[in-house]
């Protein structure tokens, strides 16, 4: 395992010697002691630790640790190699260690609706979203001027039945070496399996319903037809199963029989934008562990 490296070179001083560790492994006695002892022996200081056990009797153990290590540039790679041999392999761990000062690079995909993209841009501009937005990719031109006003590259790649295969190739060429995370901010196209595989557990979608209800297209119309009293939005990792990937974050709001479909959409837009921004922020801060088709989120 190696730290994620991004284009960011500026970080608060307190983060320049800080790293984050995510671990999942079969539950057994001594895991916390082994990790803590290892970090102590390498001169690291644990500044935050959070853990969760799924079914303490023979289940899974999950932990997120932040630690400071002086002279991190020189010492982190040897620490990672030692951790693999001394701790991780012996305890059958799935794990990662990343630098806290390396912001993840986002490629944001969007179609015609701008509300989720705008929320990400506003939070990024305010310094509340700790990422680099490397690019915005769209199958429509209408957001070019707005995106470029933030100083962010905008790539227009039309998707039609005739150009779909060509567009898929261009998408991969754009992002595979220039983005760590792909965010589908109301991008209304089916993502091909090869793209999903390339960004497994690194592609986040916002779906405008409280999954697993109303999967697929026009969920607000489906909700209206069903007469629901609560609508919601779901941010999840993308898998080949449509709207079926591990759920990261959800939220809801009450509605009534008085709301028509357009009013449900208006209410839903506020939920979508905040749910997606929270999910992206948690991923950027290495707060999520995927296990099977679920997530453990250390808030």
The CA distance from 86 to 71, in Å, is 22
Q: What DSSP state is assigned to residue 87?
A: I
Provide the pairing of β-strand 131-138 with 154-156.
parallel
Overall fold of domain 104-297: Rossmann fold (3.40.50)
CATH class (in words) of the domain with range 13-99: alpha beta
Residues 6+ apart with CB under 8 A from 263: 255
The CA distance from 157 to 187, in Å, is 12
Q: Where, residue-wise, is CATH 3.40.50.170 in the chain?
A: 104-297
Is 262 assigned a catalytic role? no
> pLDDT value at position 10?
53
Tell me phi and psi for residue 26, to 5 degrees.
Answer: -60, 135
Read off the pTM. 0.92
Instruction: Give 141's Cβ-side CA count (13 Å radius).
Output: 0
Sign of the CA dihedral running 22, 25, 30, 34: negative
> pLDDT value at position 196?
96
Among 68, 243, 262, 286, the active-site one is: 243
C-alpha dist (Å) from residue 120 to 50, 115, 123: 27, 9, 5
- Average pLDDT by consecutive 10-residue portion of the chain (299 residues)? 38 82 96 98 98 86 98 96 97 97 97 97 96 97 96 96 92 94 96 94 96 92 95 97 96 96 96 98 98 95
Residue matched to tokens 């990400």 = 120
Q: Where, residue-wise, is CATH 3.30.70.260 in the chain?
A: 13-99
């Amino acid at each position: 395992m190696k730290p994620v490296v991004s284009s960011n070179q500026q970080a608060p001083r307190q983060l320049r010697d800080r790293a984050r560790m995510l671990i999942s492994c079969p539950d057994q006695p001594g895991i916390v002691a082994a990790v803590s002892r290892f970090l102590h022996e390498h001169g690291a200081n644990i500044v935050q630790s959070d853990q969760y056990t799924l079914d303490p009797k023979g289940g899974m153990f999950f932990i997120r640790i932040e630690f400071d290590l002086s002279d991190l540039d020189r010492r982190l790679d040897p620490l990672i190699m030692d951790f693999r041999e001394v701790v991780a392999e012996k305890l059958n761990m799935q794990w990662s260690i990343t630098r806290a000062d390396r912001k993840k690079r986002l490629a944001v995909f969007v179609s015609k609706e701008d509300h989720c993209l705008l929320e990400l841009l506003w939070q990024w501009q305010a310094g509340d979203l700790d990422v680099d937005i490397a690019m915005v990719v769209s199958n429509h031109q209408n957001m070019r001027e707005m995106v470029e006003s933030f100083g962010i590259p905008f790539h227009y790649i039309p998707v039609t039945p005739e150009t779909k295969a060509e567009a898929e190739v261009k998408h991969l060429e754009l992002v595979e070496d220039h983005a760590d995370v792909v965010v589908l901010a109301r991008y209304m196209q089916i993502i091909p399996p090869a793209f999903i595989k390339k960004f497994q557990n690194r592609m986040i979608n916002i779906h405008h319903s409280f999954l697993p209800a109303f999967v697929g297209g026009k969920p607000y119309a489906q909700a209206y037809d069903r007469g629901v009293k609560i609508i919601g939005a779901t941010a999840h990792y993308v898998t080949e199963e449509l709207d079926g990937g591990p759920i990261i974050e959800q939220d809801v709001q009450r509605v009534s029989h008085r709301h028509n479909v357009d009013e449900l959409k208006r209410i839903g837009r506020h939920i979508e934008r905040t749910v997606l921004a929270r999910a992206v922020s948690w991923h950027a801060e290495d707060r999520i562990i995927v296990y099977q088709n679920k997530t453990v989120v250390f808030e």
